[in-house]
Structure 1
Amino acid sequence: MSTEHTTWVGGAQSVTHTGGGNIHVSLAAAAHDPRKPVFRQLPEDQLRWLRRVLVAPVNLGRVRTTLEETGTVILDGPPGSGRTATARVLLREHHRRVGAFRELLPDDQGELLLRDPSLVDPGDRLLLDLSGAEAGPWLTAQRDLPALRRTVHERRAHLVVVMPHDGVLEPDLQHYRVEIAPPAFPLEVLRRHLRAHGMPNEQFLRDDVTVDEFLSERRPMREIGDFADRIRRARESAGPGEEFSAWCAAAKRARAGRRVEVADRVTGLLEASQRALMIAVAMLHGAHADVVHQAAALLLSTVGSPEEETPLLQRKDLAQRLSEIAARSGPGCRVRFTELDYDSAVRAHFWDHMPDLRPHLGTWVARVVESNDPHLVPDVRDGLVARLAGEYLRTGRADALAALAEGWGAQGAGTARSEAAVQALTCGLADPVHGREFRERVYQWCVYRRLTGAFAQVLVQVCADVLALTHPDHALIRLHHLARRERGTAHALRALCDLVAGSRRLRRRLLDRLARGDLASADLAIFPHISDPALLTDRSVTTRALIDEEGVRRALVACWSATLTDAVSRPERERTALRTAIQRWLHWAAEGAGDRGEVLLDLLVDAADRCGDHRGSAFAVLYASARRAEWTAPSGGARSTDLTDLLLQKIGAAQGLGPGTPSASAGGRRS
Structure 2
Amino acid sequence: MSLHGSTRVENPQGFTHTGAGNIYVNVGAHVQDYDKPAFRRIAEDQLRWLRRVLVNPDEMGKARAVLADTGTVILGGLPGSGRTSAARVLLRECRSDSGDFHELLPGEEDELALHDPALVATGDQLLLDLSASDDRQWSAALADLPALRKAVHDQHAHLVVVMPHGGTLDPDLQSYRVEIGRPPGLQVLRRHLRMHGMPYEQYMQSDVTVDEFVRGKRPMREIADFADLVRRAREAARPDEGFTQWCATAKRARNDRRKEVATVVAGLREAPQRALLIAVSMLHGAHADVIHRAAQLLLRTLDSPSDGVPLLQHKDLAERLAEISAETGPGGYVRFKELDYDSAVRAHFWDHMPDLRPHLATWTASIVDLNDRHVIPTVRDGLVARLAGQYLRTGRGDGLASLAELWSTGAAGRARLEAAVHALTCGLDDPAHSRDFRERTYQWCAHRKLSGEFAQVLVRICADVLAASHPDQALLRLYYLARRERGTTLALQALHDLAAGSRRLRRRLLDRLARSDLSPPDLGIFLRACDPVALTDSSDIPRALVEETGVQRSLTTCWHAVLAELPRATWQPHAERWLHRAADNTGPQSELLLDLLVNAAERCAERRGEVFAALYASAREAERGAPGGPARSVKTTELLLHKISAAQGLGLVAPPASAKGSQP
TM-score band, normalised by shorter chain: over 0.9
> Residues 113-512 of structure 1 correspond to what in structure 2 (within 5 A)?
113-183=113-183, 185-512=184-511
SS of the residue aligned with 1:382? helix
Q: Contact 1:409–1:458 (CA<8 Å) still a contact in 2?
A: yes
* Structure 2 counterpart of 1:97, one-letter code: D
Structure 1 residue 541, shift from structure 2 partner: 3.2
Q: Contact 1:125–1:157 (CA<8 Å) still a contact in 2?
A: yes
* Structure 2 counterpart of 1:46, one-letter code: Q
- Residue-by-residue CA offset, 1:602-652 (whole Å, 9 max, x unaligned): 000000000122211111110110111011111221111111111111000
Structure 1 residue 225, shift from structure 2 partner: 1.2
* Structure 2 counterpart of 1:18, one-letter code: H
Q: Contact 2:427–2:437 (CA<8 Å) still a contact in 1?
A: yes
The answer to whether the aligner puts 1:588 opposite 2:574 as a matched pair is no
Distance 1:26 1:47, change over 3 A: closer
* Structure 2 counterpart of 1:612, one-letter code: A
Structure 2 equivalent of residue 556 of structure 1: 555
Structure 2 equivalent of residue 608 of structure 1: 601
Structure 1 residue 502, shift from structure 2 partner: 0.4
- Residue-by-residue CA offset, 1:86-112 (whole Å, 9 max, x unaligned): 111121111212211222121323211
Give the ranges of 4+ consecutive aligned residues of structure 1 lying more than 6 Å apart after TM superposition.
none
The answer to whether the aligner puts 1:92 opposite 2:85 as a matched pair is no
Structure 1 residue 17, shift from structure 2 partner: 5.7
Structure 1 residue 597, shift from structure 2 partner: 0.9
Distance 1:93 1:32, change over 3 A: closer
Q: Contact 1:351–1:391 (CA<8 Å) still a contact in 2?
A: yes
Distance 1:359 1:25, change over 3 A: same
* In 1: Cα distance, 2:660 partner to 2:205 partner: 79
Structure 2 equivalent of residue 13 of structure 1: none
* In 1: Cα distance, 2:463 partner to 2:148 partner: 27
SS of the residue aligned with 1:594? coil
Structure 1 residue 593, shift from structure 2 partner: 5.9
Q: Contact 2:638–2:655 (CA<8 Å) still a contact in 1?
A: no
- Residue-by-residue CA offset, 1:363-419 (whole Å, 9 max, x unaligned): 111110111110111111011011111111111222221111111101311111111
* In 2: Cα distance, 1:225 partner to 1:287 partner: 25
* In 2: Cα distance, 1:37 partner to 1:61 partner: 34
Structure 2 equivalent of residue 648 of structure 1: 641
* In 1: Cα distance, 2:500 partner to 2:607 partner: 33
The answer to whether the aligner puts 1:541 opposite 2:540 as a matched pair is yes
Structure 1 residue 19, shift from structure 2 partner: 2.0
Distance 1:644 1:330, change over 3 A: same
- Residue-by-residue CA offset, 1:168-220 (whole Å, 9 max, x unaligned): 1100001111111112x321111111001110011121111111111222211
Structure 1 residue 43, shift from structure 2 partner: 2.2
* Structure 2 counterpart of 1:178, one-letter code: V
What is the aligned-residue RMSD (CA, Å)? 1.9
SS of the residue aligned with 2:38? coil
SS of the residue aligned with 1:127? strand
* In 2: Cα distance, 1:529 partner to 1:97 partner: 24
Structure 2 equivalent of residue 18 of structure 1: 4
The answer to whether the aligner puts 1:638 opposite 2:624 as a matched pair is no
Moved more, 447-456 or 419-428: 447-456
Q: Contact 1:650–1:661 (CA<8 Å) still a contact in 2?
A: no
* Structure 2 counterpart of 1:583, one-letter code: E
* Structure 1 counterpart of 2:70, one-letter code: T
SS of the residue aligned with 2:160? strand
- Residue-by-residue CA offset, 1:143-182 (whole Å, 9 max, x unaligned): 1111111111111111111111231110000111111111
Q: Contact 1:120–1:155 (CA<8 Å) still a contact in 2?
A: yes
Moved more, 468-477 or 260-269: 468-477
Distance 1:259 1:173, change over 3 A: same
Identity of aligned pairs, percent? 63
- Residue-by-residue CA offset, 1:470-521 (whole Å, 9 max, x unaligned): 3222221221111111111111100110110101111111111111111011
SS of the residue aligned with 2:518? coil
- Residue-by-residue CA offset, 1:312-342 (whole Å, 9 max, x unaligned): 2221111111111111111221111111111
* Structure 1 counterpart of 2:260, one-letter code: E
- Residue-by-residue CA offset, 1:24-46 (whole Å, 9 max, x unaligned): 5489x983422222222122211
Q: Contact 1:62–1:178 (CA<8 Å) still a contact in 2?
A: yes
Q: Contact 1:73–1:176 (CA<8 Å) still a contact in 2?
A: yes
Question: Tell me, which stretches of 5 or more residues in structure 1 are unaligned?
Answer: 1-15, 568-573
Question: Tell me, which stretches of 5 or more residues in structure 2 are unaligned?
Answer: 10-14, 19-28
Q: Contact 2:518–2:561 (CA<8 Å) still a contact in 1?
A: yes
Q: Contact 2:639–2:659 (CA<8 Å) still a contact in 1?
A: no
SS of the residue aligned with 1:583? helix
Q: Contact 1:30–1:36 (CA<8 Å) still a contact in 2?
A: no
The answer to whether the aligner puts 1:598 opposite 2:591 as a matched pair is yes
Alignment counterpart, residue 627 of structure 1, candidates 606, 620, 626: 620
* In 1: Cα distance, 2:379 partner to 2:419 partner: 11
Structure 1 residue 127, shift from structure 2 partner: 1.4
Structure 1 equivalent of residue 59 of structure 2: 59
> Residues 27-42 of structure 1 correspond to what in structure 2 (within 5 A)?
31-42=31-42
SS of the residue aligned with 1:160? strand
Structure 1 residue 660, shift from structure 2 partner: 9.2
* In 2: Cα distance, 1:392 partner to 1:484 partner: 33
Structure 2 equivalent of residue 70 of structure 1: 70
Distance 1:660 1:157, change over 3 A: farther
Q: Contact 1:103–1:470 (CA<8 Å) still a contact in 2?
A: yes
Q: State the structure with bigger RCO (CA 8 A, min sep 6), 1 or 2.
A: 2
Alignment counterpart, residue 618 of structure 1, candidates 587, 606, 611: 611
* In 1: Cα distance, 2:659 partner to 2:554 partner: 28
Q: Contact 1:123–1:157 (CA<8 Å) still a contact in 2?
A: yes
* Structure 1 counterpart of 2:131, one-letter code: S
Moved more, 447-456 or 35-44: 447-456
SS of the residue aligned with 1:41? helix
Structure 1 residue 664, shift from structure 2 partner: 8.1
Count, aligned residues: 645
* Structure 1 counterpart of 2:111, one-letter code: E
* Structure 2 counterpart of 1:20, one-letter code: S
SS of the residue aligned with 2:156? coil
Q: Contact 1:327–1:335 (CA<8 Å) still a contact in 2?
A: yes
- Residue-by-residue CA offset, 1:425-458 (whole Å, 9 max, x unaligned): 1111222122222222222222333323511111
Distance 1:25 1:558, change over 3 A: farther
SS of the residue aligned with 2:588? helix
* In 1: Cα distance, 2:551 partner to 2:133 partner: 35
Q: Contact 1:30–1:38 (CA<8 Å) still a contact in 2?
A: no
Distance 1:219 1:25, change over 3 A: closer
Moved more, 326-335 or 32-41: 32-41
Question: TM-score normalized by structure 1?
Answer: 0.93
Moved more, 649-658 or 387-396: 387-396
Structure 2 equivalent of residue 10 of structure 1: none
Q: Contact 2:40–2:467 (CA<8 Å) still a contact in 1?
A: no
